[in-house]
Structure 1
């Protein structure tokens, strides 16, 4: 059977509608996937922000837990002075020595720069 031009035209129109409907549904599916990806990225950013804030809060809390009283600071300074005199440590290494002494006392790696300045002051 030979198809008429009208049948061929109808078949082409039907194929066009199906193709257009398929592409619209593909676009809608792609948009849903993009929206889901955007929500996942936003959720991961929020999680990272919360983790960073928790890390900052823990760091702040850690510094507060390891405060050095004036009495303790006097003792640390005296220990530093005795150590430097006995070992004849060069002045360029004093801050590192002071930092090490404070770390051994507090077990906290974050040391206040003002405390170090006061300890190494002549």
Structure 2
């Protein structure tokens, strides 16, 4: 009888240890996912802020006679690519529609109808 009580107590201790370990691992995974979500949200906010700024600048550019081509920096292109990947994963867009989606993202960002194909290819590249 004493051995069985000892075995039961040991099994209970091991079970509580496993539950605690799983709980800690779950908390770590949750925090990692939250950090990733925060980064994506920050990138999206930054992109929206840039889009709004470009739209304000474009509304002022209507007064200019000859518009200047809009340059996309490497940082802007990286944000566009991250947003594109998030959109593809969330909306499950088929691969045949990726170019159109990337082109519309760049168009929304820059306001230009003419988009460099190299930029589009870089954005959709895996």
TM-score (norm 1): 0.50
Relative contact order, higher structure (CA 8 A, sep 6+) = 2
TM-score (norm 2): 0.48
* Structure of higher CA gyration radius: 1
